[in-house]
Structure 1
Amino acid sequence: MFLTDFSHEMKLVTLDDIGKLILREDNGGYLSPESKFTSIREAVGQTLAHDLPWLAPKVPQVLIDHWMNNFPTATVQMPGALGMLRSTCRAAVASRNLPGT
């Protein structure tokens, strides 16, 4: 979606190029302790604005807004997530049945 929405404003760039930048800043869903940013969305927006070959400078907030408006509909389940949630729920139910809890 990002490439479709912004490709006309950039020199040639691939989805892989964009993905690598996002994954680097996303850091598996955790802001790197060394990051100079206060949130992942800020880090991603700033990085995309700075590191992609824009035809004209891009304001990071435009990219952050795009990310926030579209990210929830573009997420995919990580492998093993459903099993982990089921295990967590079973553990929570089991712990409620322990004496003294």
Structure 2
Amino acid sequence: MAQIDVDAFTAQVLSHWDWSGEDRSFGDASSPESGQKDEQHKPKVKMSVKRRMKASEREKLRMRSLAEALHQLREYLPPDYSRGAQPLTKIQTLKYTIRYIKELSSILEQQI
């Protein structure tokens, strides 16, 4: 089983990403950095209360699902990665999981 360089793989995936349909500007649209003028922006349409409530509920379900997945992932990590009584943050969980998978991969490669 070949070990994957996560950083190289991520860079490769992002290099093929289609950024054309997304607005990557930050901050005020009239700022010189964005390259856009106020005339080009359409007025923001207000979302109906019912639609907003449905969207909020979907977001809550998505976040619960993510929290549950991270909780399950933390259970697979060895105790060496935990910080005692305080649970790992989301980013720590992901980073430690990547490190753990790399360690397991290297053990497998040594056995082959």
- TMscore range, shorter length: under 0.3
- Rg comparison, structure with higher value: 2
* Structure showing greater relative contact order (alpha-carbon pairs closer than 8 Å, 6 or more residues apart): 2
What's the TM-score, normalizing by structure 2? 0.26
